[in-house]
A and B are shown apart, each in its own frame.
Chain A
Amino acid sequence: MGLIKNIKDAVKKEVKDYIFQMVEVEKENEKKPEQPSTESVQKNIEVKAEQPVPKAEEKPVVKEEKVQPGKVEEVEKVVEKPRKKEIYPISNDLEFVRVSYKKNQDVVTIPKELSELIKMLPLEEYACFVKLYCFALEQRKNYGYWGGTLKRRIGLDNLTTAEFEELGNNLAAYGLLLLEQLTENQKTFVLYVPFDEDTMVKLSTAKKPEKEPGKPAAKKAEKPAPKAAKTKPEPKEEPETQRAEDIPGKMVEGMENDEMYKSYKTFVSLEIDKAKMRVGRANFDKIYMEAVKYIDKKYGFKVLSDSDKFKEYLTNYYISAFDIPTFENWKKSKG
């Protein structure tokens, strides 16, 4: 009996140990999958702590880089849109007349009719018009060459050539300025001024180019000047007086015997020589080439092939191109 009891106790002990072992193994098995998962979580946390942070930083940067230019473009587009808006003429029935003022004006007066028109202009165009108006009174004529010299003389140096061109085109689109493309690089303008018989002399009427209403003027300006080959063979001869008056800086005729006029001719000759030195030979040749094209286009080939007439027109061209004072202005400066 004692032996059986001992065996019984031993079996019990063995079973207990086995069960404990089994429980421990199970516990260990349960713990083992948990540990790696915690480790992996920890690793993940570490990795996330390292990687996602820069990612989180990079992403917005990348987004910013990609988005910002787009936004800038959008902003630019928004800014550009108003520029492309169509301009409608303020008035369609204005008559563009080339005038010369009879005498120097002490006061710059803007007729009410004109002030009513120009007050509808945007600020920049308004300023440009008023400057041109004052300039017209100062030089005693409402027409001339459109370009860098004019820009400088009316005090718009700070504008770029393109901006000044745009202003001119806009004013033309509003119907207050007439721009005429003479050659590829040359334009003339006629400023609208209400004609007043008391103070002005009518020289000629400038023809307004027919254009579709509301069409941006800038597009027209971009059109290249028609080639000489495409021009009509001989433009209709205008009366001599009218043609002469069309030339900005035209010398006053009928003064050939005047001593003053002779000295003026000498003055012009010297000024042309000075200008030649100033601009350089190459540029002077280019100016001469432009003059030839201009005279051919404006006055016809017969003037170009007539040596005397060509010299006269060439001189007038130089007077305008090099800002040489006209006979009247020169006489005044001499007192």
Chain B
Amino acid sequence: MLQDIKILMKSLSDIDVRIMLCKSAFEWELLAKKYNALRDEIEAFCTSGLPEDVETALEKTRAYLVEKKGELPPLDLSDFFK
């Protein structure tokens, strides 16, 4: 179990690195999807509840993602109004 959670945490830190390198909304969406999938996976893995450090790491990555989305150029809404 310890080994598995380490692998999952490694995937999370990979996302952290990719967030730093992310430059477009498309890339961001892919990362967000990865994050959501990974979060679901971790939650499924830790059925008895998320350990505190894992939850902190997940929240940290989420905060990075939100911050990054805010830093990217504003989303073009022209399609939405067509």
Bind each other: yes
B81 with A269: CB separation less than 8 A: yes
B74 with A310: CB separation less than 8 A: no
Known interface pairs A289-B71, A311-B75, A311-B80; A233-B59 also in contact (CB < 8 Å): yes
Whether A284 sits at the interface, judged by CB under 8 Å, is yes
Interface of B is mostly: helix
A229 with B60: CB separation less than 8 A: yes
Interface of A is mostly: helix
Find chain B residues with CB under 8 A from A311 CB.
Answer: 75, 77, 79-80
Find chain A residues with CB under 8 A from B74 CB.
Answer: 284-285, 288
Which of B29, B66, B75, B79 is A314 in contact with, Cβ under 8 Å? B75
B77 with A314: CB separation less than 8 A: yes
Task: Classify chain A: how many residues form its interface, as a range.
Answer: 20 to 34
Whether A266 sits at the interface, judged by CB under 8 Å, is yes
Q: List 20 A-B contacts (CB under 8 A).
A: A228-B59, A228-B67, A229-B60, A233-B62, A265-B81, A266-B81, A269-B81, A285-B73, A285-B74, A288-B74, A288-B75, A289-B70, A296-B66, A301-B35, A301-B36, A302-B36, A304-B65, A305-B33, A314-B75, A318-B77
Chain B residues close to A by CB (< 8 Å): 29, 32-33, 35-36, 39, 55, 58-60, 62-63, 65-67, 69-71, 73-75, 77-81
Given contacts A266-B81, A305-B33, 20 further A-B contacts (CB under 8 A): A227-B63, A228-B67, A229-B60, A229-B63, A233-B58, A269-B78, A284-B74, A288-B74, A288-B75, A292-B66, A292-B69, A296-B66, A301-B36, A302-B36, A304-B65, A305-B29, A314-B75, A315-B77, A315-B80, A318-B77
Chain A residues close to B by CB (< 8 Å): 227-231, 233, 265-266, 268-269, 272, 284-285, 288-290, 292-293, 296, 301-302, 304-305, 307, 310-312, 314-315, 318
